[in-house]
Structure 1
Amino acid sequence: MFVMYAVAGMTAAVVALLTVRHRRLTELAVPLGVILGGAAIWSMSQALAVVAPTRGQALFFSYAIFPGVAMVVAGYFWRSALSAGRLRTRKRRLLLLLVHPVLLMTAVVSDPWHHAFFRGFDIAGDGSLVLSPGPLYWLHTAYSYALMTVGTVLVVRAMRRAVRGQRRLYLWFLTGGSAPVVGNLVTLFADVDAQRFDLTPVLFLVTGLVWSVAERVGVNREREPVAYAQVIAALTDAVMVLDPKGRFLDVNPAAAGLLAALHPESRGDVIGRQWQEIAGRHFAARFTGAIQSTVTGPDGAVYDVRVVHMRSADGTCPGTVVVVRDITELERLRAELTDQAVRDGLTGVYNRRHLTAVLDEAVAGPDLSVVLIDVDHFKIVNDRYGHAVGDQVLVRVAEELAGAVRETDTVARYGGEEFVVVLPGTDALTAADRADRWRARCAAVAVDTPLGPLTVTFSAGVAELSAGDRPDDLLRHADEALYRAKRAGRDRVVVANGADCKQYSV
């Protein structure tokens, strides 16, 4: 037995060191190293207990087994939880794994005074030490099996959710983990005397070797199995799981960051708290009960919110999944593209398509007038100065018009050198007076050219909406007035009834 324990202990120690050296490649290496290190301490202590020359030394090495036991149990659960993706975002919970080893060591060290861990010992016929378990021993054993059972359940549940290529790794994990459990049960319950021949540490070495070989020979090419929890944690969308009463059951890191911004005092620690308490009643009420909605946050950010109600096999709703995506930049780009779709590419004022939509809506209101503007002698400008200068002239005229109108007015390029200004709530005479001020304003603007400064004028026709008129009728009347302005000598404004607003010579 001494040789078997010693060889197993040294092998486990060597493999543990080699495994931990790969910790940068996979986070599963550290818990596997802890398991193998614990198996090494367990086996070596068993070996020394077998050959100890005195009862006191044998008892000491029997107690020395339990640091290794604690490492094995904690390492098994740690690796199980990591494999199942349950500790990636909760690493602080690893500290809870230290509770059992600390309490176990306290019980073992103090056992000579209270004898609650081992009630006593007997000497077997071959002179070996046989210990009688006490209540704390059985409590430690029950806890160890409970913790390992929880770890196994996590792995089984992860295997059921995993893709086909990942399931083989989980099967090897479960196969390797079952060997020491069987050995320990045989040691505990098959025969009382068998406690001096413990197969468990040797079989934990087998477990470590199976897991290590399974990963290295490519049972699965991935370094680690991918669990749903890891996938959700990697998403940039905020994912929140709520119970039927609206309390947080789980959130991914993106959701924790979003909720911390909405409720700074929470700092993202929201598990068990009410959704409305964290998000704010007004913000939460914007999509409560809705499947999909767009919500604007208090900071102006825009969110796409999707609500999925989970359904159990019996038809009940165990909770709700809320997925929130920040679409602020997307909405900005969408608004920009929408605006570009209704703008003239050269001048930046609205295009003819948008003008049609505005007129269709504006004819339903009272007192609507339009001004149709044509840049005078524009063909001569293009022929003498070139089309580039002609474009500059159109841009400057458009800028002057856009800078002179009200927010409710609309300036649009009608085609070529023609512009239309829509003036809701304005009669014809008022519109003509305003158009004449625009005419004087544009006439004062000079465009630099290779041949010297260039100034231009425009002619304008004004029409007011009459009962029964459609948008086409209104534009036709304005076009007729513009034609009369040109025939009268240009650089003037004419109302559709034929009267000049004012007379100017070119």
Structure 2
Amino acid sequence: MIAVFYAAMTYRRRFETPLAFPLSLVMGGGAVWALADACALAAPTPGLAIAVNYAVFPGVATVIVGFFLHTSISSGHRPSRPALLLIQPLLLVAVVATDPWHHLFYRHAEFGNLGITGQPGPAYWAHVLYSYAMMMAGTVLVIRAMRRAVRGQRRVYRWFLVGAIAPTAGNLVTVFLHVDMRGLDLAPVLFLVTGVVWWWTERSGVNSEPVPVKYAQVISALSDAVMVLDPHGRFLDVNPAAAKLLAAVNPAGGAVIGRQWLEVAGTHFPAAVADAGQTTIYGASGNVYDFRVVKMAAADGSSTGTVVVARDITELERLRAELTEQAVRDGLTGVYNRRHLTTVLEAQAAVAADGHPLSVVMIDVDHFKAVNDRYGHAVGDQVLVDLARQLAGSVRECDMVARYGGEEFVVILPGVPAHAAAERADLWRRQCAARAVDTPLGTLHVTFSAGVAQLTAGGSPEDLLSLADEALYRAKRAGRDRVLTAEHTLSVTG
């Protein structure tokens, strides 16, 4: 009754997992097997007991079919023609149904206190051999799958084998040892153990995906190029991604297995396998590769080969550079931000310690609040963007334009003295005043004020900015739209 209930519950899940239907066959066949055994023991006449006993064997055949299907699917070898598995059960039914006439299954059978005893015939032994052969074949499939599986899945197959071995051992005891157990047939009872163990391995999650994962499948599925070399640097194996990479860098290379690393890839990645570890290599085509090299060693410490894993990180490096650039840029104007200004100014001040002049120009848009109030913030933003573009397009490659905050900008001019910096700033001022910004309220002309300071003796980058700021505010107090130079000069301390 337990087997019938479990077979019904498992059969209901046949569309959820491919293992449900085979397991329902095992449990259903075990139920028929046990029921036939019980009915034979309870039969009122020996003739009826022997007749009912024949019903055991269709149940056995159903168990074998379910067992082999379950082991095949679990090991990743689903039968291509499962209907062929029905041939033996159908022949068995035909033989046992007609056995009273030909006695090929039982040469002689009689009913005693401990159940049916008799002399097996050739058909009986053919059935036994076929059943054990199928169970052995299924067990071998599971063992082979276990050996190829990744480590975390081997536990599944070990438990699977525990469930398979239990009824096999019980049946061997029943068939060959004839131990006095008062009519108890161990095999159908122990198939309940099989059902519980197999159910647990599936429902607990350790076997939620019954198709085994082989190392070769894992390596082939990787997008990283994996190459295995022998101790002499010859290719032993490459996955599809590695074959594609090697074909890309050496189109005329052809097959690589058995060839030397230097012959196939050495001109493109000359130092990739020299030492274990990780390195970044820039290819001749401009691509960037991340190489990881693992040296394999035997138990005695001798080298058994090298595993090289390569990944094309060109796009990753481009995105990284782009993100790095974005991190130092002002989001609105596109020029550098204040944090990067501080970093660059400190570096330039260190260079100025050797006697090179360093000047900064601090710029503030005149009446910017009034522009925002009258024309709106969108126009105000456009004014800042236009000014930033003008400044960025007017400086040298070694100069730097940064948004200092709000409507303020700072231009770093290494190697330029204060008077030359003031002249350049005044040119930018005139260009800015000549530009027009079209708005819904009419044409807008903006001006800016600027303060210029030079780092010469005794000061720091912070003092340099402070002096430029003071000069800027003097320019604003003097009427705006002008450039003034700081009244003091400074130099780098130390």
Shorter chain as denominator, the TM-score bin is 0.5 to 0.7
CA distance in 1, matches of 2:375, 2:146: 81
Q: 1:236 to 1:286 in 2, by over 3 A?
A: closer
CA distance in 2, matches of 1:31, 1:271: 34
CA distance in 2, matches of 1:326, 1:490: 55
Q: 1:290 to 1:455 in 2, by over 3 A?
A: farther
CA distance in 2, matches of 1:416, 1:155: 68
Q: 1:155 to 1:413 in 2, by over 3 A?
A: closer
Residues 307 and 321 of structure 1 are in contact (CA less than 8 Å); yes or no, is this contact kept in structure 2? yes
Task: Give the counterpart of 1:422 among 412, 415, 423.
Answer: 412
Deviation digits for residues 127-181 of structure 1 (CA, Å, limit 9, x no counterpart) = xxxxxxxxxxxxxxxxxxxxxxxxx9x7674269572255359969x99xxxxxx
Residues 237 and 323 of structure 1 are in contact (CA less than 8 Å); yes or no, is this contact kept in structure 2? yes
Partner AA of 2:214 in structure 1: A
Deviation digits for residues 435-489 of structure 1 (CA, Å, limit 9, x no counterpart) = 1121122112211212101110111111111123210111122112212222222
Q: 1:294 to 1:159 in 2, by over 3 A?
A: closer
CA distance in 1, matches of 2:464, 2:241: 55
Residues 362 and 410 of structure 2 are in contact (CA less than 8 Å); yes or no, is this contact kept in structure 1? yes
1:393-404 matches, within 5 Å, as 393-404=383-394
1:2-151 matches, within 5 Å, as 28=77
Residues 159 and 166 of structure 1 are in contact (CA less than 8 Å); yes or no, is this contact kept in structure 2? no
Pairing 1:231–2:231 present? no
1:473-488 matches, within 5 Å, as 473-488=463-478
* 5+ residue gaps, structure 2: 1-60, 86-136, 166-197, 490-494
Residues 482 and 494 of structure 1 are in contact (CA less than 8 Å); yes or no, is this contact kept in structure 2? yes
CA distance in 2, matches of 1:464, 1:483: 16
Measured after TM superposition, the shift of residue 326 of structure 1 is 2.1
In the superposition, the TM-score normalised over structure 2's length comes to: 0.60
Partner AA of 1:403 in structure 2: G
CA distance in 1, matches of 2:272, 2:435: 51
1:279-294 matches, within 5 Å, as 279-281=265-267, 283-285=269-271, 288-294=274-280
> Could you tell me which residue of structure 1 aligns to residue 238 of structure 2?
251
Residues 371 and 431 of structure 1 are in contact (CA less than 8 Å); yes or no, is this contact kept in structure 2? yes
> Could you tell me which residue of structure 1 aligns to residue 379 of structure 2?
389
Q: Secondary structure at the match of 1:404?
A: coil
Residues 156 and 201 of structure 2 are in contact (CA less than 8 Å); yes or no, is this contact kept in structure 1? no
> Could you tell me which residue of structure 2 aligns to residue 371 of structure 1?
361
Partner AA of 1:229 in structure 2: A
Partner AA of 2:378 in structure 1: A
Partner AA of 1:342 in structure 2: V
In the superposition, the TM-score normalised over structure 1's length comes to: 0.58
Alignment RMSD (CA, Å): 4.5
Partner AA of 2:305 in structure 1: G
CA distance in 2, matches of 1:287, 1:492: 63
Residues 306 and 322 of structure 1 are in contact (CA less than 8 Å); yes or no, is this contact kept in structure 2? yes
Deviation digits for residues 362-388 of structure 1 (CA, Å, limit 9, x no counterpart) = 012322111111111112212222222
Q: 1:302 to 1:381 in 2, by over 3 A?
A: same
Q: 1:293 to 1:418 in 2, by over 3 A?
A: same
Measured after TM superposition, the shift of residue 229 of structure 1 is 1.0
CA distance in 2, matches of 1:310, 1:425: 55
Residues 76 and 212 of structure 2 are in contact (CA less than 8 Å); yes or no, is this contact kept in structure 1? no
Deviation digits for residues 91-127 of structure 1 (CA, Å, limit 9, x no counterpart) = xxxxxxxxxxxxxxxxxxxxxxxxxxxxxxxxxxxxx
Q: Secondary structure at the match of 2:458?
A: coil
Measured after TM superposition, the shift of residue 360 of structure 1 is 0.5
Residues 439 and 458 of structure 1 are in contact (CA less than 8 Å); yes or no, is this contact kept in structure 2? yes
Q: 1:350 to 1:159 in 2, by over 3 A?
A: closer
Measured after TM superposition, the shift of residue 418 of structure 1 is 0.7
CA distance in 1, matches of 2:302, 2:379: 72
Measured after TM superposition, the shift of residue 232 of structure 1 is 1.0
More divergent stretch after superposition (391-400 vs 160-169): 160-169
Measured after TM superposition, the shift of residue 358 of structure 1 is 0.3
| Residue identity (%) | 63
* 5+ residue gaps, structure 1: 1-10, 37-75, 84-151, 176-215, 500-506
CA distance in 1, matches of 2:362, 2:229: 60
> Could you tell me which residue of structure 1 aligns to residue 335 of structure 2?
349
Q: Secondary structure at the match of 2:401?
A: strand
CA distance in 2, matches of 1:468, 1:302: 45
Pairing 1:333–2:323 present? no
Q: Secondary structure at the match of 1:431?
A: helix
